[in-house]
Amino acid sequence: MRDNPLAPLRFAIHAVFMAAVLSACADRSLTDLDDFMDEKRALPGGVVQPIPTFEAYEAFAYAATTLRSPFDRPMNARQLAALSAPTTVQPDERRTKEYLERFPFGMLTMVGTLQRDTANWSLIKDPEGRIHRIQLGSFLGRDHGRVVEMGDAFVAVTEIVSDGTENGWVERPRTIELTRM
C-alpha cells in the first residue's frame, strides 16, 4: 500500500480544530455560577416542616381464645346437641394404642380405598409418608379417635376429648376426606 501524502495535513487540521473547540470550554471565569448563587441567596428562606408526631402503639389483646378456631369446620346443631348432652363417655386408657394414634388427626390424609371380597379398607397416609389400611373400629389420631363410618371419599371418626372439667369427656365427630393427587 502506498502512503497517503495528505495524512499529515489531515492530522494537523484535526489537531487545530480540537484545540479551538477545547479552548472555548476553557473559560475560567465562574461569573454565571456566582450570579446564580447570588440570586438564590437573595430569596427568602423556607420554613422547615416539623417532624410529624406518631401515636403510641396500642397492643391488641386477643380475647377469642375460648371460641371455635376459624380453621375448624363449624358444627351443626345436631353435633352441638350431642356434645352438650350429659354422657358417661370415657376413653379406654388400658387398650393398646394403634400406630396411627401417635399422629395428630389433622396430619392424616385419606388417599384411597381397597375392597377384597367383603372386606373394605380405607388408605390413610401419615405425616412420614407411609400408607396404612384402616377399617371400621380402627383407632387414629391423638384424641382416641375411632372409625365409625367409611365411604369411597371419606372416613368418619368419633374422637373422645376432654370437656374441660376434671373427669369430663365428650365425643367429637371428625372427618377425613379423600385427597386427590
**What pLDDT band is residue 54 in, cutting at 50, 70 and 90?**
confident
- Computed from CA positions of residues 69, 73, 74, 79, in that sequence, does the dihedral angle turn out positive or negative? negative
When comparing pLDDT for 170 and 121, which is higher?
121
Instruction: Give me the pLDDT at residue 28, please.
Output: 66
* Domain locations in the chain as residue ranges: 77-177
| 172 contacts 162 by C-beta, under 8 angstroms | no
Q: For 137-167, how does the pLDDT look when each residue is reduced to its tens digit (9 = 90+)?
A: 999 998 889 999 998 889 999 998 887 777 7
Tell me what the mean pLDDT of segment 108-132 comes to. Answer: 91
- Give the predicted TM-score (pTM) of the model: 0.50
CATH class of 77-177: mainly beta
Task: Check pLDDT > 70 for residue 26.
Answer: no
The owner of cell 427568602 is 44
| DSSP result, 114-168 | EEETTEEEEEEE-TTS-EEEE-TT-EETTTTEEEEEE-SSEEEEEEEEE-SSSS-
Name the strands in the sheet holding 119-125, side by side, starting at the edge strand that comes first in the sequence: 109-116, 119-125, 131-134
